[in-house]
Structure 1
Amino acid sequence: MQLRYVDARPRDARRAVWSMGDIFTLPSDNIQETFGLAPVEGMAAGLPVVATDWNGFRDNIRHGEHGFLIPTFQPPNGTGAGLAYGHDAGLIDYDHYIGRPPNMSALITQRQHWRLRLCLMMENFAHTWGAAGQQYVREHLDWSHIIGQYKALFVELAANRSVAQQSSPSIWAAQRSTRQDPFALFSTYPTFKVDAQTWVEACGNEADLKREHQSSGNVVWAASMVALPQMVQLHSLIRSTGKCQIGTILSKVTQEQVVRALNGLAWMAKHNLVALSWQPAQSDRPL
Structure 2
Amino acid sequence: MSTGRVWATLDPFLERGPTLGRIQANKAFLQALLAQDPFDAYRFYLPSKAAGSDFARLAAELPGNLPGLSKVFLLDRRDLPREIERTPHHAFHLSDCIMHPAYLAAVRNARSRQIFPVTAVTHSLSYARYGQDFLKHLSPCTTPRDAMVATSATAAKVVRGYYGLLRQGYDLDPAAYPEPGVEVIPLGVDSTLYAPADGRKRQELRTRLGFGEETVFLVLARLCLSSKMDFLPLLRAFHRLALAGTPLSAVRLVLAGHAEPDGWGRPTFEELALNIGLALTVIESPSEEAKRELYQAADVFLSPSDNLQETFGLTLLEAQASGLPVVASDFDGYRDLVLPEETGLLARTIGPRDTSDVDLLAPLRFDNHTHLLLAQRLAVDVGGLARAIERLSVDPAARRAMAQAARRHALGYSWEEIARRHVALWETLWERPVPEQPAAAHPMAVDYARVFASYPTKRLAESDTLQATRLGSAVYRGQDHPVVHVGMEDMVDMQAVRSLLVLARKPRPFGELALALPAAVEGIDAVRAETLVLWCLKHDLLELSRG
1:151 aligns with 2:387: no
Pair 1:17–1:87, CA change in 2 (3 A):
closer
1:107 aligns with 2:383: no
For the Cα contact (< 8 Å) 2:349–2:380, is it kept in 1? yes
Pair 1:136–1:96, CA change in 2 (3 A):
same
Pair 1:135–1:74, CA change in 2 (3 A):
same
- Structure 2 match to 1:44: 321
Distance 2:429 2:331 in 1: 25
Give 1:160 deviation, angstroms. Answer: 7.3
Pair 1:122–1:144, CA change in 2 (3 A):
same
Distance 1:48 1:34 in 2: 20
**1:111 partner letter:** G
Q: Which among 330, 340, 357 is matched to residue 82 of structure 1?
A: 357
Answer with 1 or 2: which has the greater Rg. Answer: 2
Report matched runs for 1:243-258 at 5 Å: none
Gaps of 5+ in 1: 164-287
Distance 1:158 1:45 in 2: 38
Pair 1:86–1:46, CA change in 2 (3 A):
same
Pair 1:16–1:73, CA change in 2 (3 A):
same
Give 1:161 deviation, angstroms. Answer: 8.2
**1:101 partner letter:** L
Gaps of 5+ in 2: 1-250, 252-278, 436-547
**2:405 partner letter:** A
Pair 1:142–1:154, CA change in 2 (3 A):
same
Give 1:128 deviation, angstroms. Answer: 1.1
- Structure 1 match to 2:333: 56
Greater helix proportion = 1
Report how many aligned residue pairs link the two structures. 158
Among the aligned pairs, what percent are the same residue?
25
Q: Which among 129, 133, 139 is matched to residue 402 of structure 2?
A: 129
Distance 1:149 1:25 in 2: 29
Distance 2:370 2:288 in 1: 35
Give 1:66 deviation, angstroms. Answer: 0.2
Pair 1:162–1:155, CA change in 2 (3 A):
farther
Instruction: Describe the SS at the equivalent of 2:282.
Output: coil
Pair 1:83–1:12, CA change in 2 (3 A):
closer
For the Cα contact (< 8 Å) 2:392–2:399, is it kept in 1? yes
Pair 1:82–1:5, CA change in 2 (3 A):
closer
- Structure 1 match to 2:13: none
Distance 1:134 1:161 in 2: 41
Report matched runs for 1:1-287 at 5 Å: 1=251, 2-7=279-284, 9-76=286-353, 79-88=354-363, 90=364, 92-138=365-411, 140-155=412-427
Give 1:119 deviation, angstroms. Answer: 1.1
- Structure 2 match to 1:166: none
Instruction: Describe the SS at the equivalent of 1:135.
Output: helix
Which has the bigger relative contact order, CA under 8 A and spacing at least 6?
1
Q: Which TM-score applies when normalising by structure 2?
A: 0.27
Distance 1:30 1:159 in 2: 38
Q: CA RMSD in A?
A: 2.3
Give 1:162 deviation, angstroms. Answer: 5.3
Q: Which TM-score applies when normalising by structure 1?
A: 0.50
For the Cα contact (< 8 Å) 2:342–2:405, is it kept in 1? yes
Greater strand proportion = 2
**1:84 partner letter:** D
